[in-house]
Amino acid sequence: MTEQDILNLIEQDAWMMYVINIAAKLELPDWVIGAGFVRNKIWDHLCGHKKEKVDTRDIDLVYFDQNGNGWEADNKLSEELRKKTGLIWEIKNEVYMHERNGLLPYTSTADAISKWPETVTAIGVKLNKEGKLELVAPYGIGDLINFVVRPTPNFRGGIEEVKTRMLQKKWQEKWPKITLVLTTNT
């Protein structure tokens, strides 16, 4: 599976494109929808699970705007979209998220998602200015398509938190091919 295969798979999914188009209409700078939205779709596909929509608890929409919204405004926008669509949105301006994670300020959305817990979670999709789907994958897609779960190099929670997340989210029950790797080398 290549990056283009992933983009084609997403493009053929009417529900995912519906969500992506809602995000695009917000015109947030440097945005992506990431984490389980992309990861779960790929793992479901590779395991042969046929689902009407991606099995994700929420829609992680992140963006980067130096002069943009703070926590309160992002929470309000998330709630407005939840009421409008019936989906749980988590919208965050990554310009302030480094504070929560105890890291140096992020420089972009790609930089921010590179700090997310697992390499397979540090992936997103967006519509670019030409209206074409674009994948943002700071660690590439190798771990994702090979079911390798490992912490990202800058994730402070380390392997123990990754293990806890895997158990809580029941990843190995849903996708038995998953292998947990203890190193952060990608």
116-136 confidence digits (pLDDT tens): 999 999 999 999 989 999 999
pLDDT tens-place string over residues 50-60:
877 776 778 99
Mean pLDDT for 24-36 is: 96
In a 3-state reduction of DSSP, which class is residue 2? coil
Going by pLDDT thresholds of 50, 70 and 90, the confidence category of residue 184 is low
The encoded tokens of residue 185 equal: 């080398």
- Model pLDDT, residue 93: 95
The encoded tokens of residue 162 equal: 């990754």
pLDDT tens-place string over residues 5-22:
999 999 999 999 999 999
- Model pLDDT, residue 185: 58
Going by pLDDT thresholds of 50, 70 and 90, the confidence category of residue 183 is low
Residues of the chain with pLDDT > 90: what percent? 79
Going by pLDDT thresholds of 50, 70 and 90, the confidence category of residue 159 is confident
Which amino acid, residue 147?
Answer: F
CA dist., res. 175 & res. 118, Å (int): 16
Going by pLDDT thresholds of 50, 70 and 90, the confidence category of residue 154 is confident
Choose among 164, 146, 64, 153: nearest CA to 112.
Answer: 64
pTM here is 0.92
Helices (H), 48-186: 71-85, 94-101, 109-113, 142-145, 158-169, 171-174
- Model pLDDT, residue 155: 87
Domain 3-144: assigned CATH number: 3.30.460
Q: Which letter does DSSP use for residue 182 in this model?
A: S
